[in-house]
Structure 1
């Protein structure tokens, strides 16, 4: 590794599994001291142990980010104390994806999804950014999603929360950018859990047929983008959403690429 994050201190929410876990491992491998955070202590401590065995720095802080100001501010305070006084990088990754459609979603589910996916990140950013501004530097990386812009007939509630996070990315960039804090986002595509084989074709893989990549992605791809955005390599990148989706949103998907090519050349 190139140690692009050497000496940086990072808090990554929802980092006990999948994309968050991959991001924590990648940040630590690049030299960052990482706070792994989530609800599951067993999984979180396993991530920390993995990082330490590889020679990296990491600690676990259990947090149930329920959307309240108190929960987000408590995690921020604990992370700052654990990291020795400040946070250089915040990754707002924690989120939940509920099953159901608009017609089957009740008020309790609606409020919980917005609390975890939007409010928690909002109040965590509120708690951490002021010190970044005082130091004149800092990075916030939010997690959006391809479904915020390319809609499906299910998951409207989740998609709307990710649209909110992408909008907050631009708004926060405008609000904090001139004070030294860069804010960007990543919009993952169809990503399999890290313990699954991305070369297989599970039912969700059908969503990637006809895309440039032609297959589902792996959490490591998202983690690599997060490392870039958190590093000085992205010093001139502000307020953008990086699509890590195998071309799913940027390229027209053709169900039968061979037939399409034949028609073009006929």
Structure 2
């Protein structure tokens, strides 16, 4: 990929859940590609660290705190962000365990975080992108939207919903120049449960889990002009797990 194709200079990117893991890596990569990045999260200290890391590398970023479980906070985040060219819906969480063990409050929180928050962010920002002549929305889904994994029924449901919304949003917004895609990671090394991630990684054809930077590369590609003819797609970044 040429530097011209990767260039996001002059564009603004909002990355939700950008203080750790895939979101943090995506924020740093997008800034490296030239975007001015709005780093979203709930922890101002961690957000400040990401902004400082981007600044040390010569990039531009600012932190905006918001609780995406609150619709008013979602609207405030969208208003604070203003006109964005790239939206990365990364914020969310997972829950694994027997179906009968999931309480109603956690179930609702899963769907609020993984489905409702990206829905209403797109509702706020998608029309602005369309009115501005274009943009790119990248949703972070998961391989569990495709494969059957015991203990992941509710989490899988949230990510399958997100991939379905990705296709519908592509149909709605792409005629106005807004590309909407998803990346579906497999197991990724993060701070959460390293033993489980290692075990999942061993089941992939590549025999390992991904690093967050490897998923961020796919997000940056989808956000960039290099993916100008890609919309409505869900790109598997799972070490081949969903191919077998």
Class of the TM-score when normalised by the shorter of the 2 chains:
over 0.9
Q: Is the 8 A contact 1:194 1:219 kept in 2?
A: no
1:242 aligned onto 2:235: yes
How big is the alpha-carbon RMSD for the aligned residues of Structure 1 and Structure 2? Answer: 1.7
* Aligned equivalent of 1:110: 107
Q: Any idea what the Cα deviations from partners look like across 1:40-61, whole Å, max 9, x if unmatched?
A: 1111110000000110000000
Alpha-carbon distance between aligned partners in 2 of 1:195 and 1:29, rounded to the nearest angstrom: 26
Q: Which residue of 2 aligns with 1:93?
A: 90
121, 125, 142: which is aligned to 2:139? 142
TM-score, normalised relative to structure 2:
0.94
Distance (whole Å) between structure 2 residues aligned to residue 101 and residue 5 of structure 1: 43
Q: Structure 2 regions of 5+ residues with no counterpart?
A: none
Partner of 1:170: 167
Deviates more, 1:150-159 or 1:98-107: 98-107
SS in 1 for 2:84: coil
Which string of whole-angstrom CA distances, capped at 9 and with x for unpartnered residues, describes residues 120-179 of structure 1?
Answer: 110011011111111111110001100111121112111110001000000100111101
Residue 129 of structure 2 corresponds to 132
1:216 aligns with 2:209: yes
User: CA, structure 1 residues 247+41, in 2 after alignment: closer, same or farther (shift >3 Å)?
Assistant: same
Match of 1:23 among 5, 8, 26: 26
Matching residue within 72, 78, 87 for 1:70: 72
Runs of 4+ deviating beyond 4 Å: none
CA distance, structure 2, for counterparts of residue 219 and residue 8 of structure 1: 23
Whether the aligned pair in 2 keeps the contact of 1:169 and 1:185 (CA below 8 Å) is yes
Cα deviation, 1:202-258, whole Å, max 9, x if unaligned, reads 4432223353311111001110001100011101001000011111111x2xxxxxx
Aligned residues of 2:204 and 2:238 also touching (Cα < 8 A): no
Gaps of 5+ in 1: 81-85, 253-266
Give the secondary structure class of the aligned counterpart of 1:31.
coil
The structure-2 alpha-carbon separation of the partners of 1:157 and 1:53, relative to structure 1 and needing over 3 Å to count, comes to same
* Bigger-Rg structure (1/2): 1
**Inter-partner Cα distance in structure 1 for 2:71 and 2:65:** 16
Q: Normalising to structure 1: TM-score of the pair?
A: 0.87
Q: State the partner residue of 1:257.
A: none
- Matched residue SS, 1:249: helix
Matching residue of 1:260: none
